[in-house]
Structure formats: structure tokens, C-alpha cells
Amino acid sequence: MLYKLFYYIDWVSTVNALEEIKIVIPEHIKNAIRLPPDEVERRLRIELALRLYEKSIVSLGVARRIAGLTKWEFLELLAREKIPIHYGEEELREDLEWIEK
């Protein structure tokens, strides 16, 4: 099933000063997603951020930026989804950088 989904998704990567990855979902798949059309992009970003964080692929800071949420909003979302918080060196560094600003 996962393979079939990736078959339909066209991954486009553009590399410049900041690397950007775009996931293009064909209209027929987008129409099959059971969400109001104006919520699809936001919810997919949040779901992606949750799964990447849950699997320790990205830090909390990166995940919350993918989701487009503040740190506190993302922490509340993690609690609602019952996803444990991973706090490691990278999160500590991000917190220290924020404090120094």
C-alpha cells in the first residue's frame, strides 16, 4: 500500500541556499482525502511533522516548523496524540540559542 502511494506522489526537490522539498499530490488522491479542501495542506504538514518526530527523524524544533506551529502548540499536540517528548542535545542547543537571543 505504501509503495502504491509513493507511486502516485511526485517528489520534486529544489536545491538552493535553503533546500526545499515539495510533495505534489495528484488531484484524484487529494479528492480522496477525507478532509475539507482548505484543511488538506495544513493537516498533511502536521501529520508529517508528528510522524517524523515520533520516529526521531527530526527534532522537536524542526517538527514544529514543518507543522507551522509554535513550540507550545506542538507540545500540546504531542500530548493529545500521546507521543512522548524526546529531549536530547539538539533540543537543548536550540533552547540555549533561543535564550541567548
Higher-scoring residue by pLDDT: 2, 57: 57
Output the pLDDT for position 83. Answer: 96
CB of 50 within 8 A of CB of 77? yes
pLDDT digit string, tens, across residues 36-50? 989 999 999 999 999
CB of 59 within 8 A of CB of 91? yes
pLDDT digit string, tens, across residues 79-93? 999 999 987 787 788
Residue 12 clears pLDDT 70, i.e. is over it: no
Higher-scoring residue by pLDDT: 11, 53: 53
